[in-house]
């Protein structure tokens, strides 16, 4: 039995909760001890960790992380970092050991800026919206298989943000994903207020308009409770785009089938950026990743994958129109 299957067998699907057209199926498990790591927000709040450009000139797909804590620090796939030369999101979940420095793989989510507005990055209260995060995860998995690197398709990320900006008629001077979230914040916060964790909840399945779209699972309820508002904003950003007035509740059997598919997916192991192993899940219509450290799954995310990678096409005219090039920021393909 794999660590993924064993972990999923240990969770229980609970009664769904919903707001508007976004449904959350809680995933429950016995309450574990408190985590033996800090989440990024806490480490930055304590000023015992720093995120900076890797050099004065910077590099779009990498940032420098310095952990001055004795404890490890957890950074979440899709979590947004704002500041320095341009805003980025994490390409994978990373656990950085105590007193360690390393470069972390990221994608740009602010195509129109390549200049400093701060010396260090801060952590935003959001993550890359779920549709884009699913595609990014798929591209990173492909990159690991092909070259052993945690690279996304940066052009595709910019395209996804341009399309989201167009859908919400967002005017952003720097084509920043964050500007779309800030414009829609009042609606997004209604989802955050409604979808709160229940006792012993370690994860969730999310459905939009009756269709299951993704899953998040952590090693303890405390970590899940911390990240849930960021994740709800990520899924809600896709939900509010459809303008559907109310939720369609998927059958519990559909949710259980998603869990089974995740557990039965093909798994490939890669060296993690920081501590542990990075496991990549590949199912018939599912893509996922899991960070495993000392025999336990610290974070598992999986998404419904609607399309596999096809031939490279010309970058969308929409992105070129809405997202002007940013100085020396080049596409990393």
Q: Spell out the domain ranges in the chain.
A: 3-307
Higher pLDDT, 313 or 77: 77
What are the structure tokens assigned to 222, written together?
A: 């405390």
Please say whether the beta carbons of 27 and 204 come within 8 A: yes
* pLDDT given at position 246: 76
Residues 270-285: pLDDT tens digits? 999 999 999 999 998 9
* pLDDT given at position 248: 84
Name the nearest CA neighbour of 169 among 232, 109, 233, 241.
Answer: 241
Parallel, antiparallel, or unpaired: how do β-strands 22-28 and 12-13 relate? antiparallel
- Between the two ends of the chain, the Cα-to-Cα distance in Å is 37
* pLDDT given at position 1: 55
How large is the average pLDDT for residues 139-152? 98
Higher pLDDT, 257 or 325: 257
* pLDDT given at position 243: 77
- What is the pTM (predicted TM-score) of this model? 0.92
pLDDT at 324 over 80: no
Q: Where are the alpha helices (DSSP H) in the chain?
A: 3-9, 40-45, 130-147, 154-167, 177-183, 185-194, 221-242, 252-264, 317-322
pLDDT at 307 over 50: no
> Does residue 139 sit in helix, strand or coil?
helix
How large is the average pLDDT for residues 26-38? 89
From 177-181, 232-236, 285-289, 318-322, the region with the lowest mean pLDDT:
318-322
* CA–CA dist 88, 123 (Å, integer): 10
Query: Considering the chain, what is the average pLDDT of its residues?
Result: 92
Higher pLDDT, 249 or 325: 249
Q: How many CA atoms lie within 13 A of 127 on its CB side?
A: 29
Residues 182-231: pLDDT tens digits? 999 999 999 999 999 999 999 999 999 999 999 999 999 999 999 999 99
């Amino acid at each position: 039995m794999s660590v993924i299957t064993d972990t999923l067998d240990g969770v229980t699907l609970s009664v769904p909760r919903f707001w508007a057209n976004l449904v959350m199926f809680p995933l429950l498990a016995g309450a574990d001890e408190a985590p033996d790591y800090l989440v990024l927000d806490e480490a930055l709040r304590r000023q015992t960790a720093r995120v900076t450009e890797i050099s004065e000139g910077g590099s779009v797909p990498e940032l420098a992380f310095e952990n001055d804590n004795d404890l490890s620090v957890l950074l979440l796939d899709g979590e947004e970092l704002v500041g320095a030369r341009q805003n980025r999101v994490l390409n994978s979940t990373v656990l950085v050991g105590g007193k360690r420095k390393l470069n972390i793989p990221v994608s740009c989510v602010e195509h129109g800026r390549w200049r400093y507005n701060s010396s260090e990055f801060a952590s935003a209260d959001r993550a890359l919206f779920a549709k884009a995060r699913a595609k990014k995860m798929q591209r990173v998995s492909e990159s690991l298989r092909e070259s052993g690197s945690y690279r996304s398709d940066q052009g595709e990320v910019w395209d996804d943000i341009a399309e989201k900006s167009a859908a919400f008629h967002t005017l952003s001077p720097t084509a920043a994903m964050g500007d779309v979230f800030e414009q829609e914040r009042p609606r997004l916060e209604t989802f955050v207020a409604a979808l709160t964790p229940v006792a012993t909840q370690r994860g969730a399945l999310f459905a939009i308009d009756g269709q299951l779209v993704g899953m998040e699972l952590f090693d303890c309820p405390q970590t899940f409770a911390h990240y849930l508002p960021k994740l709800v904003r990520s899924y809600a950003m896709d939900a509010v785009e459809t303008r559907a007035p109310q939720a369609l509740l998927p059958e519990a059997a559909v949710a259980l089938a998603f869990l089974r598919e995740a557990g039965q997916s093909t798994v490939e192991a890669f060296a993690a950026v920081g501590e542990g192993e990075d496991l990549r899940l590949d199912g018939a219509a599912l893509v996922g990743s899991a960070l495993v450290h000392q025999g336990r799954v610290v974070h598992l995310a999986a998404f419904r994958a609607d399309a596999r990678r096809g031939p490279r096409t010309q970058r969308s005219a929409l992105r070129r129109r809405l997202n002007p090039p940013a100085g020396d920021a080049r596409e990393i393909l």
